[in-house]
Amino acid sequence: MQHVKSLFLVSLLSGAFTLGGYKLFIEKSNKSIVTSAPDYALPVGLTPEGVDFTVAAEKAVHSVVHVKNVSVITYTDPWSSFFYGRNNTQQYEQIGTGSGVIISEDGYIVTNNHVIKDAKELEVTLNNNKAYKAKLIGTDSKMDIALLKIDADEKLPFIVFGNSDQIKVGEWVLAVGNPYNLNSTVTAGIVSAKARNLDKASIQSFIQTDAAVNPGNSGGALVNARGELIGINTMISSPTGSYAGYSFAVPSNITKKIIEDLVQFGNVQRGVLGVDGSELNAEASKKLGIKETEGIFVNKINKNSGAQKAGITKGDIIIKLDDKKVTNNAELSAIVNTKRPNDVIKVSLMREGKLVVVPVKLTKKELIQYEYNGIEFEDVTEEDKRTFNITSGIKIKVVTNEEFQEYAEYLKGSIVRRVDGILATNMETVSAYLAKKEEKQKTQYEIIGKNGRVYRFIL
């Protein structure tokens, strides 16, 4: 009997030490405000048989809220100044509406940046019709995500994040939001495509669905048949402004990373691979004289980037990132956008017909330099925006091309507004466009000089 007791005591102590060791050394503390669902071996809802949408809808509707944005617009009557010589300026309140998703019981809410843009006042109405003033925590305009916070007098129902990487084309999904100021409207559809890119910079990567999404659905939840959040509905493609068959959502994995950055750092920590590349297909491969028809053909390596330090060169073909297949820029962006500066990503590429795998430490966006045809560019600062009275653009840092030396001192410090007629929104937009051009092709720049005057150069 004494022997049995001793064995039991030893077993108990072993279990305690094992659990304690796991907690202390292995299990990482999770300070995230996001609750994530476990990964599943198989996706759910690939066929309508056996899918109970009521379960997913019941989970989602109570966590989706109505967001009201009160902004102030200023109107100046030009006729008063012209006829009477006085400045007749008036201010009006403008109300915009959208949806949001509660992601924690203490009142953190994710929505779209465009829903809360320029807000003077924000109000959130829950599914039980209780209304609260909301505080803006932070935004990411490039991904169209914003994070709000309300102080409620109760624990709030919140949604659990699913893994957007696991969703499949053809999988059933629900879109939940507040279109036309209606509470908790639910529509169903399927995932039409993944990694859709809708901007010239190729930094966005949307989930496309055919679930009906209308004005007011922006910022609402896209959920799978388990009721887990897999995306934030952000826009529709329509000639009329109302739903016409295509809607798009920011994947939950990207949304989660943005939220955690905003809470932890106050801004989005965006890591950069440091390559500019073009998507391969049969036509592009034939033109380049290569066999591979899938992947990203590296056209240029940015200075000081992780890709440059890892030895990636022009002509390499990126086929995988962290063992995930990459066939276009949107897929590449979807993976990189879930990472932070100094994270290491495994890049698989084809080089002269051989597979090469290199680890690349992602660079902070502000540290890399972009150069094209002997002109080095950088993003404008807030001070530049005030000085030149602009909201976007890129700055010429230095000119090294000997052909342009007579203009070099003048061009240095100037602001590029347009490149070949395309608005120079930021470095991503310009670098993605220039990467597709032939090296010796002429390029037209619309420039604001240091004297404030607008010039056009063809270089």
So which residues are the catalytic ones?
A: 114, 144, 218
Phi, psi of 282 (to 5 degrees): -60, -45
d(CA 177, CA 114): 15
Distances (CA, A) of 106 to 153, 223, 263, 273, 372: 9, 21, 14, 36, 49
d(CA 116, CA 119): 6
The 3-state DSSP class for residue 278 equals: strand
Q: If residue 67 lies in a helix (H) or strand (E), which one and from where to where?
A: strand 64-77
The 3-state DSSP class for residue 276 equals: strand
Say if CB 126 and CB 109 are below 8 A apart. no
Distances (CA, A) of 183 to 100, 103, 180, 186, 409: 12, 18, 9, 10, 59
User: Smallest Cα–Cα separation from 147: which of 25, 3, 300, 262?
Assistant: 262
Q: If residue 407 lies in a helix (H) or strand (E), which one and from where to where?
A: helix 405-411
Q: What is the CA radius of gyration of the chain?
A: 26
d(CA 309, CA 192): 38
Helix ranges restricted to H, 78-186:
78-79, 113-116
Say if CB 346 and CB 326 are below 8 A apart. no
d(CA 3, CA 298): 69
What are 65's strand-pairing partners? 100
402: tokens are: 């000997």
d(CA 349, CA 320): 7
Give 370's DSSP letter.
E
